[in-house]
Structure 1
Amino acid sequence: MSEKIALITGASRGLGAALAEELSGTHHVVAVARTTGALEELDDRIQATGASATLAPMDVTNPDAMAQLCRSIHDRWGGIDIWAHCAIHAAPLAPAYFLDAKDWEKSVACNVTATGQLIPFIAPLLGEEGTALFFDDPRGGEKFFGAYGATKAAQIALARSWAAETERTGPSVRVLAPAPMATATRARFFPGEDRTALSTPRDEARRLVAQLGA
């Protein structure tokens, strides 16, 4: 595999899209997200720099689709160098005793179950030398963050277990801590917040990629 490949799950907006753009300078990006229009806009921005991407408009909670994608990546490139897992379901803030059943199910499906299904699919593509990236947002236990905080914490706990298991053998599994960013998700959580003090997804993507030496 001569061409470096970066798989970004949750690439349509926010940090995922910014990472796709940042990594496209050194990697061919496989961008996964449900929103076709947003992926096409991302592709336009990447192509404008002279780079290229492969768009995969699919839902990470669909294990059959994700298994087929991973098989296609293996057949075409043999593996990947980086997997950045940015897909998240951010349920509306609510007291624990008012949790909406559908939002809870979506949170568990996207943030926990899909992560548990994707790791076995993607680990063989990473091999011993690849890098898997997860992004912490420690809201577990905060008031009104019940669905998001609990399921995000579970996702990161799973990532940390994988990191401990592969410390000597690879792949490298890293849990990174982005600075607060001016994203649509954060705007839903903190309406009316002064966004001038927040980092941009692009700046955070550049900082985080620089940490990797990618």
Structure 2
Amino acid sequence: MTDRVCLVTGASRGIGAASARELAGRGHRVVVNHRDSAAEADAVAQDVRAAGGHALVAQGDVTDPGEVTRLVDTVAAQWGRLDVMVHNAMTPFPVTSFAELTWEQLGSKLDQEMRAAYLLTHAVVPGMIERRYGRLVYLSTGLARRPRAGMIALGVAKAALDSFVRYVADEVAPHGVTANVVAPSTVEDTAVSGRLSDELKEQLAAATPMRRLARPEDVARTVAYFAGDDGGFTTGSWAPVNGGLIMP
């Protein structure tokens, strides 16, 4: 079935924007969430509408309980329900070694990462259970399983997210709701890759069996699989999108 209502957090650029366009291209209604990038979110929505799709721009900080409630209420008021949540919004993190990492830095990243995932999931799951249909898709990273220098805060926080999703998947499965993780390697044209040197990106591409970095569209297609009916009997999974860099 198409015409599902899909919320994509952090959808103004990168993976989130590509996911919103991909889902809309498959016939779904998309909610383009952003925190403070209205112009970019509007551009994504305009792309969707120009292609004949339906898009709603919805501002909201996914680490704020009140704003998460308002975000979900806005979707319900517009389209009556929420069938799919794609949690892509990235919270800030330091790039540093363990030796230089403070507990405040690590604790802050862990708190924001898990706060956003918890608040969003807690807000959308009751309606999905009531309707006995739902798709939860969370963006993680291969760094949760394969460490890289300087990325300890991000990798540890995403590892916590991965575990959270497995527990959620187990609990909601009897109600027709799936929960899955999409874990790309370094993705071109994203906030994370923008913090890396060109030299490092070239090294990462060379170390990948497919000899390039992931692109937002590569990740978006995997997101769309889990967001649709084709992935309806897959839950609790961790799907690498990395050109063979990590083969679990």
TM beyond 0.5 = yes
% same residue: 26
2:204 is the alignment partner of 1:200: no
2:140 is the alignment partner of 1:136: yes
Whole-Å Cα distance in 1 between the matches of residues 11 and 213 of structure 2? 20
2:137 is the alignment partner of 1:122: no
Whole-Å Cα distance in 1 between the matches of residues 83 and 184 of structure 2? 21
Please point out which of 142, 148, 156 is paired with 1:150.
156
- Measured after TM superposition, the shift of residue 115 of structure 1 is 1.0
The answer to whether the 8 Å contact 1:89/1:106 transfers is no
Q: How does 1:1-214 map to 2 (within 5 A)?
A: 3-25=3-25, 26-34=27-35, 35-99=37-101, 103-104=105-106, 106-127=108-129, 128-140=132-144, 142=147, 143-178=149-184, 180-184=186-190, 185-189=192-196, 191-192=198-199, 193-194=201-202, 197-210=212-225, 212=228, 213=230
- Measured after TM superposition, the shift of residue 3 of structure 1 is 4.5
Q: Structure 1: which 5+ residue stretches go unaligned?
A: none
Question: 1:164-185: per-residue Cα shift (whole Å, max 9, x none)?
Answer: 1122223111122335421331
Whole-Å Cα distance in 1 between the matches of residues 103 and 46 of structure 2? 37
Matched residue count: 213
Once the two structures are overlaid, the 10-residue window that deviates more, 198-207 or 186-195, is 186-195
- Measured after TM superposition, the shift of residue 207 of structure 1 is 4.3
Query: For the structure 1 residues 106 and 197, does the alpha-carbon distance in structure 2 shift closer, same or farther, using more than 3 Å as the test?
Result: same
| Partner SS state of residue 132, structure 1 | strand
The amino acid of 1:123's aligned partner reads: V
Whole-Å Cα distance in 2 between the matches of residues 172 and 19 of structure 1? 18
Provide the aligned C-alpha RMSD in A. Answer: 2.5
Whole-Å Cα distance in 1 between the matches of residues 156 and 3 of structure 2? 38
Question: 1:81-106: per-residue Cα shift (whole Å, max 9, x none)?
Answer: 21111012252320123236775455
Once the two structures are overlaid, the 10-residue window that deviates more, 72-81 or 22-31, is 72-81
| Partner SS state of residue 167, structure 1 | helix
What TM-score does the superposition give when structure 1 sets the normalisation length? 0.86
What TM-score does the superposition give when structure 2 sets the normalisation length? 0.75
Q: Structure 2: which 5+ residue stretches go unaligned?
A: 206-210, 232-248
